[in-house]
Homo-oligomer: A and B are copies of this chain.
Amino acid sequence: MSTVSRREKEKQQRRNDIIEAAEELFDAKGFESTTIEEIARKTELSKGTIYLYFQSKDELLLEVCAKGIMGFRQDLEAAANSKRSIDNKIKAVCAAYIDYFIKVPHIFRVLHDTLTERLRNNLSGETMSLINWTIVEVLKFSSAIVQQGIDSGKFRSDIDPYSFSIAVWQMSSGLLDLAILKDPGIIDRDSLEEILSKSIDIMIDGLKAGAPGESRGR
């Protein structure tokens, strides 16, 4: 049994190695421009072996995306569940999002590419479902927080929390996108956090403006 399980582990390990190699290459060169040959070389396996673990190049992309999304949700929940003021919760969620992907820009870019319609054609609906489902989960999370703010009277009530979450998400993603360009011509990685945090501040202030419970002069 020990033998079997070692084998099993090795297999898992190899699977992971391949996914990681693919991750980096898809990011660096794009999905289309990455060849199986390159993935094989990077993992020091043969081309044939790749096909022992994955049925096709497309399936590899699916796995890369899936893996990228998994870990991310945990960070997000942790940030949202920490006991803080609502303001801070929102900021924490954004920060978690940014922090996660700034560490693995590859994954961010691959996911972003995948979400983009162009790739959708090449992919099984399975991948898309997984990605979409996760996105929606995250948005529900954020919406709930905003709703709390509204319920408590801290935030104005004339907004749709879900829509607001989408807007913040897109702003964050967009800024992240710019920051992780290899040759950042527009904003650099360092100013990203500042711009983002400032922007979130502004949006939160905007949320408070006109709130029923807004305390004068504050």
Contacts and interface: CB of A to CB of B under 8 A. Distances in A.
A29 B167 CA distance: 27
Nearest to A167: B199
A209 B204 CA distance: 10
A148 interface: no
10 contacts: A29-B118, A33-B118, A117-B183, A128-B185, A164-B198, A166-B175, A166-B187, A167-B195, A202-B206, A203-B203
A44 B169 CA distance: 43
Query: How would you classify the secondary structure of chain A's contact residues: helix, strand, loop or mixed?
Result: helix
A136 B175 CA distance: 15
A201 interface: yes
How many copies make up the complex? 4
Contacts of A32: 30, 32-33
Most chain B CB inside 10 Å of its own CB: which residue of A163, A170, A175: A170
A132 B184 CA distance: 10
A117 to B, nearest CB: 5
Most chain B CB inside 10 Å of its own CB: which residue of A174, A198, A210: A174
Interface string A96-113: 000000000000010011
A206 B139 CA distance: 22
A32 B30 CA distance: 10
Contacts of A30: 32, 118-119
A10 to B, nearest CB: 18
Interface in A1-51: 27-30, 32-33
Contact of A216 (B28, B163, B216): B216
